[in-house]
Amino acid sequence: MTIAVDEQRQRTTEELVTALRAQGSRYHDLHPFHVRMNAGELSAEELRRWVANRYYYQRSIPLKDAAILSNCPEVDVRREWITRIVDHDGSEPGGGGIESWLRLGEALGVDRAELESERGVLPGVRYAVDAYVTFCRTRPWVEAVAASLTELFGPSAIRVRVEALERHYPWIDPAGLEYFRTRLKQAPLDAQYALDLVVERCRTRDEQDRAIAALAFKCDLLWAQLEAIERGDTRPGKPPA
């Protein structure tokens, strides 16, 4: 009886945050593709395949955020969360994260019309990204917020990535890396707000377990994207153990 009760014990705030941050061991910065990128071992073709496929994820971020908004009944949360859509779509033409990613593509030698056509998007990448958007549309909004907490792990990975791209790939126009520099400022703020929401709303052990599972699910999807990008084909990949 003691064991059963302990298994259902609500985690403390510290325990929940620790469990969420532990999912960083599944984050895709550990994928061999990113490891090779950071070591300067990718070809220009591989980098272009990456930027073209990652574009499909970038352009889908406002869609998943809109899905979270549509499921959230709390005005204060919606008012805060909507800024994420503006961050990616921009408040006017020529601004926002999606535009910055198009410029990154141009810096890597991929025409923006080619990126926007999505002709280079691999089926495995499309499937993974669409699954994430569907998750955010169909699951409780707090679970979708928990899935977004991969932002906890992004800044440190981005710092390494920017340094590696500037050092090992001098043919890339540094101006094209502005997307990453902007995210270094935005991601920590977004992550802290989302983390506070999850900690505040997930009170029962079951709710906490679902939040952790949502974040693990998102990590697996990011890993699956890189599996497809690395191979350039449609064979299913395996998430980290």
Unique residue bearing structure tokens 């990616």: 88
Question: Mean pLDDT over residues 43-56, rounded?
Answer: 97
pLDDT in tens, 182-197: 999 999 999 999 999 9
What residue ranges do the domains of the chain occupy? Answer: 13-231
Q: Degrees (nearest 5) of the Cα angle 115, 64, 34?
A: 55
Task: From the options 1.20.1530.20, 3.40.50.180, 1.20.910.10, 3.40.190.290, give the CATH code of 13-231.
Answer: 1.20.910.10
Spatial neighbors of 28 by CB under 8 A, at least 6 apart, are: 34, 219, 222, 223, 225, 226
pLDDT in tens, 95-150: 899 999 999 999 999 999 999 999 999 999 999 999 999 999 999 999 999 999 99
What is the rounded distance in angstroms from the CA atom of residue 70 to the CA atom of residue 13? 28
Number of residues assigned to the chain: 241
Please give the model's pTM, rounded to 2 decimal places: 0.90
| DSSP 8-state secondary structure symbol assigned to residue 72 | -
What is the rounded distance in angstroms from the CA atom of residue 153 to the CA atom of residue 23? 9
